[in-house]
Amino acid sequence: MDRTESPGILPDFLIEKNSGGRIERSICCIETVAAITEDIVRRIEHYSLMLSGKDIAVLERILAVPTGTDTKLVPRGYSILHLPVPRPA
């Protein structure tokens, strides 16, 4: 088993493309919290490390959060997807 096959090391979504003998990946994590913490960022960085390797690159880290979530601790280079919060019926 190599690093990319470690059980339990998966983000919420993993998008993968084979590009000329090289694998390109984007990872997406969904967080329904009021603020992104350092622990959340560390976990996403851990996913990136564990899901990359020789000829395997993580090109994008996507963080999906409810609109209004405090994302000031999210490092540069992340894509932040703000999801609308449903209104009560």
pLDDT tens sequence across 6-64: 556 689 999 999 989 999 999 999 999 999 999 999 999 999 999 999 999 999 999 99
On whether residue 48 sits in a domain, the answer given is: yes
- Is the residue at 89 inside a domain? no
What are φ and ψ of residue 53, in 5° steps?
Answer: 175, -160
77: containing domain:
3-83
Q: In the structure encoding, which two tokens stand for residue 33, read together?
A: 């919290």
Is residue 5 predicted with pLDDT exceeding 80? no
> Is residue 88 a part of any domain in this protein?
no
Number of domains making up the chain: 1
Question: Is residue 4 very low, low, confident or very high in pLDDT (cuts 50, 70, 90)?
Answer: very low
